[in-house]
Amino acid sequence: MSVSTQPHYWFPAKEYGRGWGLPNSWPGWLVLAAIALTFAWLYRTFWLTHQRTKFWLGCAVAGATLVVVIYLTGEPPKWRWGG
C-alpha cells in the first residue's frame, strides 16, 4: 500500500484568478452546509425580529469564520492563469 505525500485539500483553488472553488470532499461540503444553516438561523432569529445590527454582526462573524476555515483547509492562495 502506498501512502500519498500530496496533501488533500477540502477546497481546491480556482483555475483562473485568486481564490477557491466549490469543495471537493465531504468535510468541505459539511462546512458549507453549516454556514448556510447559520445564515438561515441568523435570518430567522434576527432579521425577521428587526434586530438588524445583530444579524449583520452574526453574518460578519460567520463569513470571517468561513474564510479562515477555507484558508486553513484549501490550496494555498496565489494568482492562477489556468492550465
Is the Cβ–Cβ distance between 82 and 18 less than 8 Å? no
Cα(4)–Cα(61) distance, integer angstroms: 35
**Cell (9 digits) for 45:** 432569529
Helix (H) or strand (E) holding 17: strand 16-17
pLDDT of 3 over the 80 cut = no
pLDDT of 4 over the 90 cut = no
Angle in degrees, 0-180, between the axes of helices 52-73 and 26-42, rounded to the nearest 10: 170
Phi, psi of 11 (to 5 degrees): -125, 110
pLDDT of 69 over the 70 cut = yes
When pLDDT is averaged across residues 10-32 and rounded to a whole number, the result is 93
Count of C-beta atoms within a 10 Å radius of residue 39: 17
When pLDDT is averaged across residues 11-31 and rounded to a whole number, the result is 93
